[in-house]
Structure 1
């Protein structure tokens, strides 16, 4: 695709990256076949190819309108198109650049600006979000059905292991996950403790940066990333007084895909570029850590989970990180009858804050996904990202949980989990 970028972005870091991405696109249209919003709306401008043309026009200096913004807002950034694209077009990065420019040139209605401001300021702050969530649960009957869907019942985290091990890994606690589903991180710590690995949480680490970054507060998102690099670096470098950690474990695939991009996103920052690259290299989704323990888990558990389980692979796992088959492999190794649904490659509609900003489209995608998951006959649904878990649970009576919780519970039921 030929380009002629406008002076405002030509020869800038964003401009050079956008130009390279645009020129890689051969506008073949393969991406439209796997775009969830194109499938729902049937509008070329609500598919990747159409949005690429819109971004190209914006970067070439064409007038920017609210209609342009609407089509970009409707994109889930699921990156399914990247998995489909034969030319390797990095659509997600292009979308970030295009949205940033559009956001600077189009004034949103006041109500929309307020909503986005609250989301980007409240959700990343655990100290603010967790009490607000607890208050919301108390007044749940007074809230709208849409807000009630976002309030999962309170759940206990359970015990955190206190043993120390020679093998140590960092874990990102996250921002909304500790309040919404605290057992996920606790279960991960217990399972790895039973396998001889100590999980450490850096006290000053917080939101991975994705929430602000993808709400077009890219500077705020980058600040969140820098804070995490600073919080983790003593453990990565060995300055914390012990051997460097083996890895930085992500229990939410949405966080994992972002942290793996720190090296790219902070490459322009001389003070952080090298450290950020090292952080990205050490980052592992939990599904990348657990296969090394398959044989030991299989021996310990001995087929203890007999029920059929449906796995929903989040887009941030299968398209963002290009990780496929690892969760299913671990679960099958320990005896789980795990199945995928008919449209397992498509987004469930959660997509970070998308379900709150585009509720109608999000609900349609959720209902379609739930119908296909339930059609598998599974008695339980598991996933690997907090947003997907809560979004799916709001549309089904079938229990939905993180896949590591299955393993944790099986180890506990068999008395095979460490108790100290």
Structure 2
């Protein structure tokens, strides 16, 4: 793609990066075949190629974002399916992230829109605030059908209430910062062998909505002789605010995490930073790019990003000899279910398959643990979660969720397995079968408790 940026414009590092990305696009349109919003709406401007033209025009002309550009950029899920499809290597993720930051800096959204976005940025990344807001949502949930009658913003608030769980989420067993070594076997006098040491991301939304996921992961890693540390000072990865264009907030979150993990890296050392929410994993693996202009953090951020691994990615890389083996008689669920009797539909989150290029590892681990694992038709398509997308774009998100659940139903599974809390919450809001994290299923198969949803 030909571009016409001035030298003054290219002096800005973000603009120069976007210009290089734009030049790689050859207008082939392969991205339109896999873009969920284009598939639903049929509008070229709701495809990656169409959005690229809008972004190019906006940046080249140094103009504030107009309502049309904002609408079509806002409709982008950042599912990154287009990047998997693109034959030219266009880094659409970095381009659309820059566009969102530019929109945030140059456009003034309607008041209700600004207030909602501000509320999400002030609540979701902070577990204590998020937990308190969920308690309020429990009481307000009956109002969701009424709110849907009050236009776009009413439907967005209704989506917030609809996504809230039916009861207060349990707190994590391993919630406090600290070190969790493999347990001492009964009757043993010597400490068990330590086969590795990792930091585990506690996260923000997941630590409230799915605290049991990290509990299961710690048990699973401990069985492999892996010491797990929850570093003091670690928090939200920054993805939620980054995708709303609040780049400075995202960078502050990234710096705090880099500081927390760097302390552990310089102390007893880390073999990996293990992540159980793939949306967070995609962002943390990009810290080197996000903080590339920060001379105090650029090198540290690259080192941290290099250590970041999804839990299934990390387990796959371990010596098979130390991996916990499936137990012969796992604890059965309320219906007498055990792993070997279960048919599992594996939902690959967009951030997992497109963002991190992790496709086979979760399925192989589940299969080796005794589950009957099945791919979902149209597996490349987004479920509609996409961070805060199911709140800010509830109609499109619901259509994508329903399409995904229809495809899952074709497999006739007993359980849906996924590796991202956003997808799990989104699918559970419309599914009539359990949606369980991959790590929980692996924990159960190797001697852990029955996952809560299977009971």
Identify the residue that residue 150 of structure 1 maps to in structure 2: 163
Distance 1:159 1:214, change over 3 A: closer
Identify the residue that residue 235 of structure 1 maps to in structure 2: 264
User: Contact 1:204–1:231 at 8 Å: present in 2 too?
Assistant: yes
Normalized against structure 2, the TM-score is what? Answer: 0.86
Tell me by how many angstroms 1:11 deviates. Answer: 2.2
Output the aligned Cα RMSD: 2.0
Trace 1:96-175 onto structure 2 (pairs within 5 A): 96-144=97-145, 146-153=159-166, 154-156=168-170, 159-160=173-174, 162-164=180-182, 166=194, 167-175=196-204
SS in structure 2 of the partner of residue 9 of structure 1 = helix
**Which one of 172, 182, 199 corresponds to residue 211 of structure 2?**
182
Query: Could you tell which deviates more after superposition, 190-199 or 404-413?
Result: 404-413
Identify the residue that residue 14 of structure 2 maps to in structure 1: 14
Tell me by how many angstroms 1:24 deviates. Answer: 0.5
Are 1:272 and 2:297 counterparts?
Answer: yes
SS in structure 2 of the partner of residue 412 of structure 1 = coil
Report Cα offsets for 1:295-325 as digits up to 9, x if no partner. Answer: 6557433596121000100000110111111
User: Contact 1:76–1:354 at 8 Å: present in 2 too?
Assistant: yes
Identify the residue that residue 305 of structure 1 maps to in structure 2: 339
SS in structure 1 of the partner of residue 142 of structure 2 = helix
User: Contact 2:326–2:447 at 8 Å: present in 1 too?
Assistant: no
Distance 2:144 2:8 in 1: 45
Are 1:385 and 2:452 counterparts?
Answer: no
Distance 1:8 1:350, change over 3 A: farther
Normalized against structure 1, the TM-score is what? Answer: 0.93
Tell me by how many angstroms 1:138 deviates. Answer: 4.2
**Which one of 396, 399, 402 corresponds to residue 431 of structure 2?**
396
Distance 1:277 1:158, change over 3 A: closer
- Which ranges in structure 1 are unaligned for 5 or more consecutive residues? 416-420
SS in structure 2 of the partner of residue 45 of structure 1 = helix
Report Cα offsets for 1:221-259 as digits up to 9, x if no partner. Answer: 100100111111110112xxxx20111000000000100
Identify the residue that residue 192 of structure 1 maps to in structure 2: 221
- Which ranges in structure 2 are unaligned for 5 or more consecutive residues? 146-157, 183-192, 330-337, 451-455
Identify the residue that residue 418 of structure 1 maps to in structure 2: none
Query: Could you tell which deviates more after superposition, 373-382 or 153-162?
Result: 153-162
Report Cα offsets for 1:251-270 as digits up to 9, x if no partner. Answer: 00000010001111111101
Query: Could you tell which deviates more after superposition, 177-186 or 95-104?
Result: 95-104
User: Contact 1:287–1:326 at 8 Å: present in 2 too?
Assistant: yes
Trace 1:19-418 onto structure 2 (pairs within 5 A): 19-61=19-61, 63=63, 64-144=65-145, 146-153=159-166, 154-156=168-170, 159-160=173-174, 162-164=180-182, 166=194, 167-238=196-267, 243-291=268-316, 292=318, 299-302=325-328, 305-306=339-340, 307-412=342-447
Tell me by how many angstroms 1:10 deviates. Answer: 2.4
User: Contact 1:294–1:330 at 8 Å: present in 2 too?
Assistant: no
SS in structure 1 of the partner of residue 396 of structure 2 = helix
- Matched residue count: 411
Tell me by how many angstroms 1:147 deviates. Answer: 3.1
Tell me by how many angstroms 1:69 deviates. Answer: 0.6
